[in-house]
Structure 1
């Protein structure tokens, strides 16, 4: 007997028929003698609609009320799946995040999980053979209000629950059959990976791969939760996310990721003095705005230009925050560009091979693609380019690194 957490994304529970299919998959695990907890997302498209209504009513809405609205999607799905399981003879109960409780910090809209009290769920799984159907994406903040974990937060909920329940495995069911070398919708020759390291998956998730949320991979790596990514619609084996030690042959590049969810901000003629970066990025951090790629130009005439990227959704708040400190900073102006995209190459093999970055730059140059910003880590190289070139760049790089399937 094993203890398994099964997570199903929005497309897997998009309508009653698909919810029945999910219930059938859960029943197979229960019939095999396993203890099961299920984490569900909202039905496909529901969260987008809820977010759109919030933004339509007020672009700078109250984050606490935003959470109250968008958390309702998962509540519906968890109740429907519990009903479907009961209908086919499986003891089941739905749980909202606050009922367990899944305790988080107070960063509404982007909360982080602090603790999960899993004792009652474990007791019910053992004594009652009851399946816990848990709302993903949400928890309970210190202000006793519902919080949400950010887009893709159901993955984080599932991994955190697996850690709290000491589960043997966390299965993430999606609309794809696993982790591919890049988006198969852009590159027809993309290959499915049998295994990928936590570090590679973390980098791919952080730079735009939509398979798993970044924080879910961070948590899996920290807690040593064995994660499997597989399809809700096929019986094929998925991709295991594992320790690097389990992969004997490390590929130079594991995958190519991209993100269209980028906006570039340039602050012009910033006074070049000690502490100026802290004065700019401190208020952005206090506003819970994540800054990614940062470039500071060489100083001239006592001033410098500073360029960085933020998520597109955070651009209005970032501009408002920076406008509020203009007098204190003394910069000349701010310009913003939404028509940019980020493309990245990732692989643990970079640690022992030179020339990865030069191959990337040469390939993009041959396609006439200008690089606006560059950032690197030990196993990743990312560039910011014009949004109109993203598909061309991904295809060219996938071929250049020998990732195309035969």
Structure 2
């Protein structure tokens, strides 16, 4: 049987009833003979509430204390899920991130995972116990302080554990049935994608797709971890993210667009002495705060630079996009006919990103999806060298 890491996001566990439902899914995999390691996010809305509590106490909470507070959200859902599993007759044991051996950099609030020593997790597996690990957190490498990994950091926790344990797959459970050709909330006719390469998923995450954290995809690509994005609300097959594909040729005679992504909260930066926006220095609004006056963080290497305005971006994701000029020509023609103002800002073979005013973003995404993914035949679906799913 397989060794599977399962991660459950906050949208999968907004209530105690949903925790019980998730526990039944975990128990089913365990009783089927699989070795299962579980990574839990905080319950839906819990982290936001903790942030609100902290800001009601202090306008600028000390980063160390804020991490100590925010880490408790995942610990609570983790322990509750372990209780639910034990009540189902599946022996389980909860671990904090540091008890599971997650070691990080020193940056509070956005730490990177440096190393993983999952001794206690392995020991639990050897005893037939289901280990549950609180996501989003770790311990400073060589230190004794708790850190958090940034929003949606539980994805990265799961991938890092899967790499360290040499798991057969890492299942990311959310509230959508896989990765789609666009956000179904914006484009109702968006289609689920059966398979993606790490590179394509990385480009989608960088372009604004929220289904997987960018850092988790980068970690998976670096360590060769197969990801399986699934819904915790149904048993649809979901989306496999892996480079172990065949029947796929990326040096194609024509460009292939596989998805349209968008980011509604981007900030346009202009460097001193440069009249045009500094496109590589776009940042999400959450990175700098959503109220003025604020400045672009000094870690860009350009010091505290005031930003100009909030804007939005949409991206074409695919292969051979810049090799074939008709891709950009179709993009320009589509948006010009729709009366949508835009500026291309990123042009690579795997991603074309454009900037547009926020009120036009939804229309931009819908127009591009119709032009590239509705009126044209679908690209051939890659096949995976293995099972698309390890369990029903």
Task: Please indicate, yes or no, whether the TM-score normalized by the shorter chain is above 0.5.
Answer: yes
1:312 aligns with 2:311: no
1:387 to 350, 358, 361: 358
Q: Is the contact between residue 104 and residue 141 of structure 1 (CA under 8 Å) also seen in structure 2?
A: yes
Relative to 1, partners in 2 of residues 1:351 and 1:233: Cα closer, same or farther, differing over 3 Å?
same
1:337 aligns with 2:309: yes
Question: Which residue of structure 2 lines up, in the alignment, with residue 359 of structure 1?
Answer: 330
What do residues 207-261 of structure 1 show as CA deviations (whole Å, max 9, x unaligned)? 1101101111111111111111111011111110011643526670110001122
SS at match of 1:176: coil
| Partner Cα separation in structure 1 for residue 356 and residue 275 of structure 2 | 18
SS at match of 2:94: strand
Relative to 1, partners in 2 of residues 1:182 and 1:330: Cα closer, same or farther, differing over 3 Å?
closer
| Partner Cα separation in structure 1 for residue 303 and residue 151 of structure 2 | 35
Q: Is the contact between residue 7 and residue 38 of structure 2 (CA under 8 Å) also seen in structure 1?
A: yes
1:78 aligns with 2:44: no
Q: TM-score, normalised by structure 1?
A: 0.84
* CA deviation after TM superposition for structure 1 residue 349, in Å: 4.1
* CA deviation after TM superposition for structure 1 residue 16, in Å: 1.2
SS at match of 1:228: strand
Query: What RMSD over aligned residues (CA atoms) do the two structures have, in Å?
Result: 2.7
1:376 aligns with 2:347: yes
| Partner Cα separation in structure 2 for residue 198 and residue 330 of structure 1 | 33
Deviates more, 1:171-180 or 1:396-405: 396-405
Q: Is the contact between residue 11 and residue 175 of structure 1 (CA under 8 Å) also seen in structure 2?
A: yes
Relative to 1, partners in 2 of residues 1:95 and 1:405: Cα closer, same or farther, differing over 3 Å?
farther
Q: Is the contact between residue 257 and residue 318 of structure 2 (CA under 8 Å) also seen in structure 1?
A: yes
* CA deviation after TM superposition for structure 1 residue 378, in Å: 2.8
Question: Which residue of structure 2 lines up, in the alignment, with residue 91 of structure 1?
Answer: 91
Q: TM-score, normalised by structure 2?
A: 0.86
* CA deviation after TM superposition for structure 1 residue 98, in Å: 1.5
What do residues 26-46 of structure 1 show as CA deviations (whole Å, max 9, x unaligned)? 111111111110001111111
SS at match of 2:80: helix
Gaps of 5+ in 2: 378-392
Relative to 1, partners in 2 of residues 1:137 and 1:404: Cα closer, same or farther, differing over 3 Å?
farther
Number of aligned residue pairs: give it: 368
1:138 aligns with 2:142: no
| Partner Cα separation in structure 2 for residue 99 and residue 404 of structure 1 | 52
| Partner Cα separation in structure 2 for residue 104 and residue 181 of structure 1 | 34
Question: Which residue of structure 1 lines up, in the alignment, with residue 200 of structure 2?
Answer: 200
* CA deviation after TM superposition for structure 1 residue 160, in Å: 0.5
| Partner Cα separation in structure 2 for residue 256 and residue 47 of structure 1 | 29
Question: Which residue of structure 2 lines up, in the alignment, with residue 129 of structure 1?
Answer: 128
Gaps of 5+ in 1: 271-295, 299-304
Q: Is the contact between residue 67 and residue 147 of structure 2 (CA under 8 Å) also seen in structure 1?
A: yes
Relative to 1, partners in 2 of residues 1:226 and 1:238: Cα closer, same or farther, differing over 3 Å?
same
| Partner Cα separation in structure 1 for residue 210 and residue 374 of structure 2 | 19
What do residues 289-334 of structure 1 show as CA deviations (whole Å, max 9, x unaligned)? xxxxxxx447xxxxxx756422212325997666999xxx999x94
Question: Which residue of structure 2 lines up, in the alignment, with residue 161 of structure 1?
Answer: 161
Q: Is the contact between residue 228 and residue 238 of structure 2 (CA under 8 Å) also seen in structure 1?
A: yes
What do residues 127-174 of structure 1 show as CA deviations (whole Å, max 9, x unaligned)? x10101111111111442111111111111101100111111111111
1:400 to 331, 354, 371: 371
SS at match of 2:340: coil
Which has the larger share of helix? Answer: 1
* CA deviation after TM superposition for structure 1 residue 93, in Å: 0.5
**Pairs within 5 Å for 1:12-27:** 12-27=12-27
